[in-house]
């Protein structure tokens, strides 16, 4: 088997672990009803997952840095199977929380390790494409995994989804064992070195853009199924179709974000995308009583939200190109913290206000991100122009 096919195998398994993360938002109402908790309480399953992912993954990756990479992939998938088995076999909300924590830790370790392995399997000039293939596999869970999961949960027990994912996880272990070659571990990156970057103001501000952007997104997305069911009065099948349309638009938006960044630059793409993101959330609340209009607005929201992903990652890499791996790790942790914060804030809003309020609060968070990006990028441009003028003046002085 060629290395290209091995990378595709990793991408397929990434799709599986991605589905385990995203599926809860698609079946949140059914999980809440079955385990006897409110929708807002069930939403905290996303908070728990994101917190465990954000804090646990960097620590586990530092501790396991020297372990041979294929072994680490197999260990993480073994833990992944256990987490899914807990969701099926153990009753109660507390057991489901434990399952989400185990799934978060195993998912985080697998994704980071798979990205490392894929970059080593690819030729030097194709490493970026290899990483993009894995990211595509993970994000495809939104397009295929979540809508299919919603359909399964509508006709059968939602636990069947996690049982199926667990069985596929066993198959994934065999695939990884027989297709992925031995890959040596690396010297661990101390956590203090990762945290040291946060002390740089421009990096801290850039990461705050990720936080407010994703928090605003998560406030609304966590409760999108109850929103479509209760506010838009959609059927279960309508919600599944809406989630499928959302996933397709996310893929197109991500591709457009990369294209736009190359053609028009970071400021226009990032700020413009976030402004459209905020506007679409407000529109979603306004058109909620009209299901036919909700579909295109859902797609506009997904398109604009996901268009910011490649742009923000590129922006962060330009701030510290010598520490690209650490920057991506920090961004991933901040992203998961934002998901946790968004799910938590959304739960409070749903509990004490209304489902229709989540889009307005989400739009406020994204607007803060857009304003922060505008101020930060504008200041960077001013500094760059001032530095260019200073160099030009020095050059003229030298000539004269």
Series of mean pLDDT values for 10-residue runs along the chain (400 residues): 81 89 85 87 88 86 81 93 92 90 92 80 67 74 81 85 93 90 67 74 90 93 88 86 86 82 86 94 92 91 88 80 70 86 88 87 95 84 60 62
Query: What's the rounded Cα separation, in Å, for the pair 361 and 345?
Result: 9
Which residue from 313, 323, 314, 350 is spatially nearest to 214, judged by alpha carbons? 313
pLDDT value for 242: 87
DSSP state of 126: G
| Per-residue confidence (pLDDT) for residue 367, from 0 to 100 | 96
Rounded CA-CA distance 29/40 in Å is: 9
Q: How far apart are CA 95 and CA 86, in angstroms?
A: 7
Site of tokens 């992944």: 80
Q: What is the pLDDT of residue 377?
A: 85
Block residue for tokens 């990434």? 14
| Crossing angle (nearest 10°) for helices 291-319 and 266-286 | 150
DSSP track, 210-224? HHHHHHHHHHHHTTH
CA angle 193–199–203, rounded 5-degree value? 95
| pTM over cut 0.75 | yes
Residue-level length of the chain: 400
The confidence score (pLDDT) of residue 301 equals 94
Query: What pLDDT is attached to residue 380?
Result: 65
| Alpha carbon distance, N-terminus to C-terminus of the chain | 65
Read off the DSSP letter of residue 288: T
Give CB contacts under 8 A, 24+ apart, made by 140-144.
Answer: 140/15, 140/18, 140/247, 140/251, 141/15, 141/16, 141/18, 141/19, 141/21, 141/22, 141/23, 142/18, 142/22, 142/246, 142/247, 142/250, 142/251, 143/244, 143/247, 143/248, 143/250, 143/251, 144/15, 144/247
What pLDDT does residue 297 have? 94
Instruction: Provide the Cα torsion 312, 252, 340, 364; round to 10°.
Output: 70
Q: What per-residue confidence (pLDDT) applies to 336?
A: 84
Check residue 255 and give its pLDDT. Answer: 79
Task: Write the DSSP symbol of residue 190.
Answer: -
């Amino acid at each position: 088997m060629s290395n290209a096919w091995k990378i595709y195998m990793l991408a397929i398994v990434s799709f599986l672990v991605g589905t385990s993360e995203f599926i809860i938002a698609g079946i949140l109402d059914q999980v809440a009803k079955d385990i006897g908790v409110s929708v807002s309480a069930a939403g905290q399953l996303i908070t728990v997952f994101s917190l465990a992912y954000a804090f646990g993954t960097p620590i586990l990756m530092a501790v396991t840095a020297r372990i041979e990479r294929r072994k680490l992939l197999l260990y993480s998938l073994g833990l992944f199977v256990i987490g899914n088995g807990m969701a099926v076999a153990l009753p109660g909300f507390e057991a489901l929380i434990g399952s989400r924590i185990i799934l978060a830790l195993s998912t985080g370790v697998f994704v980071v390790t798979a990205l490392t392995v894929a970059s080593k399997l690819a030729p030097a000039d194709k490493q970026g494409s290899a990483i993009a293939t894995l990211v595509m596999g993970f994000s495809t869970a939104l397009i295929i995994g979540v809508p299919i999961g919603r359909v399964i949960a509508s006709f059968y027990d939602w636990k069947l989804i996690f049982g199926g994912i667990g069985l596929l996880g066993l198959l994934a272990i065999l695939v990884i064992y027989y297709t992925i070659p031995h890959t040596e571990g690396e010297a661990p990156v101390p956590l203090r070195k990762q945290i040291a970057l946060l002390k740089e103001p421009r990096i801290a501000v850039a990461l705050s853009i990720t936080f407010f952007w994703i928090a605003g997104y998560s406030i609304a997305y966590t409760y999108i199924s109850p929103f479509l069911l209760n506010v838009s009065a959609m059927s279960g099948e309508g919600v599944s179709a809406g989630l499928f349309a959302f996933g397709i638009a996310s893929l197109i938006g991500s591709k457009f974000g990369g294209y736009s960044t190359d053609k028009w630059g970071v400021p226009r793409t990032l700020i413009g995308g976030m402004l459209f993101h905020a506007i679409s959330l407000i529109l979603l609340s306004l058109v909620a009583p009209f299901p036919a209009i909700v579909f295109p607005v859902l797609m506009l929201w997904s398109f604009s939200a996901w268009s910011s992903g490649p742009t923000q990652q590129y922006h962060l890499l330009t701030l510290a190109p010598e520490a690209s791996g650490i920057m991506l790790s920090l961004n991933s942790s901040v992203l998961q913290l934002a998901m946790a914060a968004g799910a938590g804030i959304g739960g409070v809003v749903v509990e004490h206000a209304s489902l229709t309020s989540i889009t307005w609060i989400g739009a406020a968070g994204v607007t803060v991100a857009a304003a922060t990006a505008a101020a930060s990028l504008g200041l960077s441009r001013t500094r760059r122009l001032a530095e260019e003028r200073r160099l030009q003046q020095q050059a003229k002085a030298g000539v004269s």
